[in-house]
Every structure is written in C-alpha cells, then in structure tokens.
Structure 1
Amino acid sequence: MLNPRASQQSLRTHPPVLLDTTLRDGEQSPGLYFTSDEKILIARQLDMLGVGVIEAGIPSMGPAEQHVLAQLVRSGLAAEILSWNRLVEADIAASLACGVRHVHVSIPTSPTHIDLKLGKNRAWILDRIKRVVGPAVEQGAIISFGAEDASRTDPEFLREVFATAVESGASRVRYADTLGVLTPDRAAAVVSYLAGCLPVPIDFHGHDDFGMATANAVAAWKAGAQMVSCSLLGLGERAGNTPLEEFVGALHFIEGYYGTFDFIALKQLCEEVGKICRRPIPPQKPIIGSDIFHHESGIHVDGLLKASETYELFPPEIVGGQRKLILGKHSGRAAVRYLAGLESLTLDDEQITTFLADIRARMAREQGLDVNRIFKEFLSGRCAHKT
C-alpha cells in the first residue's frame, strides 16, 4: 500500500534536472528520424539551454548510431550524454565501445509485459538485474536503471526491482509511465512512496496518451522526483512524451524556477525541430504556439487594454511571441475603438454598434469572411474622422 511522505517533502527547493529524450524516444515517433548532423545540432542547442542530460540514442542499432554517440561524447558538452539499452550485456557493450559511460538500461516490470511479452516471471526479472547491472558497473558504466510500464506495476514489486538495481550499483532509477495512464495524484503518491524507500534520484518519464504528461511530471517532481524526462514538442511514441517547452514553462512561470531560461532560444529550437520532422507547431501550442497571444473576446480585450496581466500571465516577448487583437464575432467596443485608433481614426458608439451588428449578422450566414478587409472598408466608408 502506498504511504506518501510528509507534506513538507512536496515543497521542492530545487528544480529537477532536465533530461531530454528527443533524440531517442522522440525519434521513435513513427516515420521520424534525425540525420547524424541533425542529432549533433539539436544536442548542442539543448546543451546551450541548460539541459542536464541528453538521451541521445540506442547504440545496439548499429555503427551509424554508435558513431554519432561517440561524436557527442567527444564534443565537450556540459550535458551528460546518455545511451538507451535493453537490460542485455551486448547492448551495454555497444554503449561502452563508443565511449558512452552514462548508460540507461530498461526492462519491463508490469505483469502484462513480463507475462505476455517476455514470457518470464518476477524472479527472472530480479535475477536478470543482478546478473547484468553489477558487471556493467564493474566495466565502468554509470547505470541509470529504468522500469518500463512502471505505472502498471505493483508498487511493492517495483520497490523491490529498484532496490535490487540500486544494490547492484545503479546510480538512479527511472519510473516510466509508458502508456500515460497516471493522473497527477497517482503520480505524486507513487513517486513519494518510492522516494521514501530509495537512496538514489528518481527520473520520471511520462507519456501523454491522456493529455496529462506535463501535469504528471510537475506532480512527480513535487513528490520527490529529481529528474524529469521530456522531449521537444512532446515528440515520442503514440501521443508522445512530456513536452520540454511545457514543463519548463510551467515551472518557470507558475512555480518560479529556471529563472534565466532562454525561452526564445527554446522556441527557435522547437521551430527548427518541427521543420526537420515536417510537423508544424500547432498555433495554440502552449508556450510556443503562434496564436497563444491572440485575443478576440470583448471581455478579454477590454481587460488587456487596461492591464495586460488580466489575461496574459507573462509578456509575450519573453517567449518570442507577439500580442495581436483579432476582430471577430466576439469582439467588443474596446477592440473596435482601439483598432480604429491605430489608424488614427475615431468611431463613436453608434458606429461601433453598427459595425459589430453587421459583422455578426454576416458571420451567421457565411464562413471565411476577411474581417480585417471588411473593417477597413467600414472605416473608409463611415463618418470616422482623424484624431
């Protein structure tokens, strides 16, 4: 049974180490891949942003992957370069052969995976950990141990799995919400429980199958996770991983951490990755979307014109955004008067009422209206006068 730690442990004094898995789990998005040059470019930009760990690839895939990992290890980045491996001796040997010392090993721990995928049992999992992790450490590997499908694993068995890995020499453990089935309260409870049992850092690796990856990651960090796995644009299998831009944005703008983070550089990197992947950034994407500072609603615009903080938590310029007032069905008097003023024109209340009534009537009949053109025609044809 889970027994969350005392409430003071949820009051974190330091932000988590950021682990970016764009070049590993992100690249596992169906149909997506990065060239070696693209991997090096992205890794360098992540390093400049202050990402602490870059999970850069899977050496067992062959010489090309090993070569780019070897290049990254020799490149002098401040970030830890981490490889991903199955809990298999040959995988670890491939990592060590290309100069990688920070080695992540992963094995499934849920009944679904143990029984149906591996055809093994719990005892086999524990024995496998003992047989592989210890010798890897003796060979110079710094082991990060991951439990795949941890969120569908019995917590007591998971504790035993992690404890066995730590006893065998693992330096940290990864809790993988492989199918994104956690909710924030469950994420907090299980991470709190494990943090109270384990002497090593916990890396929380969430997926976004139900749209809760960012919330789960924040909850896991508050409950004791010292590292959070993310990817640029949330790239990853199925619905993807915790988006780096969303997680950092939440901790910066809501929780007050990562005070000097360069959000403009992050946005530029996300845009570059989007182009490489041929996946345009959705206009309403949190933190970096092109339209997130666009406003139409009359109530919102009226508030913004009086004080921007009424409907914008932070200035758009911090994240490379730009405020824009949009004329439309839900516009109010303040927006119409303000936009007319930008043209050095003044409208009286009757003129504004006439314009709004006309545009709403036309929108009830027709899609795709060019409201800006209609507004300019209105201004030129009415009794507006220069201010």
Structure 2
Amino acid sequence: MAIRDDLILEDTTLRDGEQTPGVAFSKETKTKILDALIAAGVTSVEIGIPAMGGEELDFIKTCVDRQDEARLVVWHRGVREDVERSIDMGFKAVHIGLPTSAGHLKASVRKDRTWLLSTAKDLIKMAKDRGAYVSISAEDIARTEISFLQEYAGVVHEAGADRLRLSDTVGLLGPEAYGERVAAVGAAAPIDTQCHAHNDFGLATANTIAGLKAGARYFHVTVNAIGERAGMADLAQVVVALKKLYDRDLGIDMTKLKDLSRLVSQAAKHPVLPWQPVIGDNVFAHESGIHANGMLRDTSTFEPFPPEHVGGERRYVLGKHSGRALIAWALEQQGIEPREDLLGLCLDEVRHMSIRTAGAVPPEDLADIYRRALSRAGAAA
C-alpha cells in the first residue's frame, strides 16, 4: 500500500519524551519547546498529563488558549474524572491510554478485557457527547492477539473514537509485524490509526514507516528520539525520510531541525550523539582521504542531501585518515598556497598528531606544521 498523502505528525516530546528516566521539564522549558515545535510547523502536539497536577498542570492550563495554533492533545488514564476535568478546562482533543494485552491488563491496571471494552465505550461516548476529538490507545500491541486488536478496533470505532493509537509499548515488533497489525486493524474497522513505536531494538523509525505504508494516517515522534527506555521514533529522521525517500512533505520547516534538537538536548541535559542521523554533528563531517577528495569536487558524492536542508553545516576534519587533497584545501582556506612537495610531510605530521591526541587536528595547527616544514626545507636548500 502506498503511503497516504494526508499524513499527520504528532509530537510527544512533552509527554512521552519527558518520561525519559531522569528528565524533568519546567513550565518555562515546556513552553519554549512547544513554541519551537509550532514554529517548525508541527500541527499536533501531545502536551502532557493533567492528572500529575502541580507545575505540569499549570503548564497545561496555559495551553488552553493556544489551541488555534495546533491541535494540543492531553493524555489520560482510563479514568472518567481525568478526562472530564480536561474537557472542563476547555481542551478539544483528549487521549485515553488503555492496555489491550492480557499481561498489561493484569499487571498494570488489574482488570480484564470485559472491563476494557466497557470502559473504552463509556469514556469515548462521554467525551464525544461533549464535543471532544477522541484518541484512544491499544497499548502493548506486540503481545495482543491480532484478532482481539481487530475486535477492539471495531468496538472503539462503533463508540465514536476518532483515532486508535497502536502502541508498541515495549518495542518488541519488527517492521513486518508492526505493519501487519496496522493493516489488520485497517481491514477490521474504518478508523484512523496512529503509529506509536518504541526503540528498544532500534527499529522505531523503521516501524513507523512500515505502519504508514500499511495505511496509518497519524504517527508519533519525539525530538532527538527521547522517551522511555530506548526512546521513540525521531522527529527529524522520520520527517526527512518521508520527504527525501517517499516524497511526502509534512510541512515541517526542516531548516529548524538542528536548532530544535539543540533546544531539547539542553533541556533534557543529554547530548546528541555526533552520529545521530540527520542532526548529529558528524552527519556532514568528512575526514577520510577518498571521501574528502570526492567531496571537494562534488558535494553530492558522500552526502545524501545538503546540510542546509536541515539547518546543519558541512565540516572537513583533519585527522589520521585525511589525505593530501584535504591538507592542501585546508591550507588554502587559511591563505596558504602549499608546495606540493611538502604535503606528504604535513600529512605524516597530522596523522601522528591525531593519534597522539586521539582526535582531530585544528586547522591552525596544520598551518604551524606547514610553516615548520617550509622552514626545514629552506634550511636544507
């Protein structure tokens, strides 16, 4: 099945992302992240959990008057009073989190499937009667029988739910299995589905794409892939993959992805890995001789897309794996026209220095290396 052309990205950095162990966002920080998400073109944001109270609730209350800027979704347990309270505050979109696997029902909420189906119907009806957009979960779909997922989808659709979130809560599924469940639900009930994929096996982005290829319309992401345990599908990765590989433009300003990543990284106090796809500092960095040589002639040779598309910058790194072409280029960038016969000497010294320092060699150090080589060459003449 082709990926739909009416996809809707929903960011959950402020809810699932903040559930990263050890991460806590203040009201001010959550406001800054929400501002940045909306400025980047995100049109749907899951903003938090009102039942937490305190500063979390204070932030959520400030969002009531911002619902014209984006769809702002509040998350709830399967507790009627929680959902009613959010609607009373004025929220137009609510999500109800309910588990569907026998294991989660037993261990997490200590209920059975009879309770689940009854509770889902009652909560959906109440919220719809009050005019809310209603999203509801099927949590732990990896350990929920497909036949029951289909039954559940039919029940929540009949009750009036607008969307069914298919949560691979512990990240146990591969792309094939995740896509199979999305397709099975789609065959059972005409309800919009939402991908919610965790990254415990490093497959969250692949599973999200698989779910979209199987017919899902909505999907969850977080900035920098933060979230419980190993995190979730990454906003930047999914947005860029859909744009570049599947020709689906979500209206996100990709030039803001780097700054958005930096903001959340600082707020979470977790640095982004240099090799993090799309927004890592090494994504557009080049050191090895063959690669740098090719890049200096044609920047498309070893980059999938230009760095400016995602707010990044191209870097050439001097180090152990550099070649003569990069040495010459780096000297020229500092206004030095290098002698060809000295490039080999400079390269040897750069490699030795890189090994000694276990890192890159700054361009100014290369200039000093060249001047010393030039001085020795003059003395020997």
Judge same fold: TM > 0.5, yes or no.
Answer: yes
The Cα offsets for residues 31-75 of structure 1, whole Å up to 9 and x where unpaired, read as: 222222332332232222222211111122226444432321212
1:326-365 alignment, distance < 5 Å? 326-360=317-351
| Equivalent position SS for 1:78 | coil
Provide the alpha-carbon RMSD of the alignment. Answer: 2.3
Question: Structure 1 residue aligned with 2:61, among 47, 50, 70?
Answer: 70
In 2, Cα distance between the equivalents of 1:266 and 1:333? 34
Secondary structure of the structure 2 residue equivalent to 1:310: coil
Large movers: runs of 4+ above 6 Å: none
Candidates 319, 325, 328, aligned match of 2:310? 319
**CA spacing shift, 1:161–1:337, aligned 2, 3 Å:** same
Deviation per CA, 1:130-178: give whole Å up to 9, x if none: 3332233223332101111112211111111121111111111000011
After superposition, the Cα gap between the structure-2 partners of 1:39 and 1:345, relative to the gap in structure 1 and judged at 3 Å, is: closer
* Structure 1 pair 144–91 and aligned structure 2 pair: CA distance change class (3 A): same
Contact 1:47–1:77 under 8 Å retained in 2 = no
What is the CA deviation profile of residues 173-198 of structure 1, one whole-angstrom value per residue up to 9, with x for unaligned ones?
A: 00001111121222222212222222
Return the alpha-carbon distance in structure 1 between the equivalents of residues 371 and 18 of structure 2.
53
> SS at 2:119's partner residue?
helix
Out of 174, 189, 193, the residue aligned to residue 202 of structure 1 is 193
Deviation at 1:231, TM superposition (A): 1.1
How far apart are the structure 2 equivalents of 1:128 and 1:325? 58
SS of 2:97's partner is strand
**1:261: which partner in 2?**
252
| Identity score, percent | 35
- Residue correspondence of structure 1 range 243-254 to structure 2 within 5 A: 243-254=234-245
Determine whether 1:177 maps to 2:159: no
Match 2:15 to one of 18, 24, 27: 24
> Do the aligned partners of residues 359 and 44 (structure 1) sit closer, same or farther apart at CA in structure 2, a change above 3 Å counting?
closer
Contact between 1:60 and 1:95, CA under 8 Å: does it hold in 2? Answer: no
1:13 offset after TM fit, Å? Answer: 4.4
Q: Provide the TM-score with structure 2 as the length reference.
A: 0.91
Closer, same or farther: CA 324–56 of 1 in aligned 2, 3 Å: same
Task: Give the aligned partner of residue 33 of structure 1.
Answer: 24
CA distance in 2, matches of 1:259, 1:85: 27
> Deviations along 1:208-237, whole A, 9 cap, x unmatched?
112111111112112111011011111211
Correspondent of 1:377 among 365, 368, 372: 368
In structure 2, the CA distance between the partners of 1:174 and 1:366, relative to structure 1 (3 Å rule), is: closer
**Inter-partner Cα distance in structure 2 for 1:64 and 1:358:** 56
- Aligned positions, number: 376
Instruction: Give the aligned residue type for 2:295.
Output: L
The superposition leaves residues 88-114 of structure 1 with CA deviations (integer Å, 9 ceiling, x where unpaired) of 111111211211121110111112212
The corresponding residue for 1:103 is 94
Q: How does 1:1-387 map to 2 (within 5 A)?
A: 9=1, 11-14=2-5, 16-62=7-53, 64-258=55-249, 261-360=252-351, 367=358, 370=361, 372=363, 374-383=365-374
How has the CA–CA distance of structure 1 residues 369 and 217 changed in structure 2, closer, same or farther, with 3 Å as cutoff? closer
Counterparts of 1:294 and 1:39 in 2: how far apart (Å)? 32
Match of 2:137, SS state, is strand
Task: Give the TM-score normalised by the residue count of structure 1.
Answer: 0.89
More moved, 239-248 vs 369-378: 369-378
3-state SS of paired residue (2:188): coil
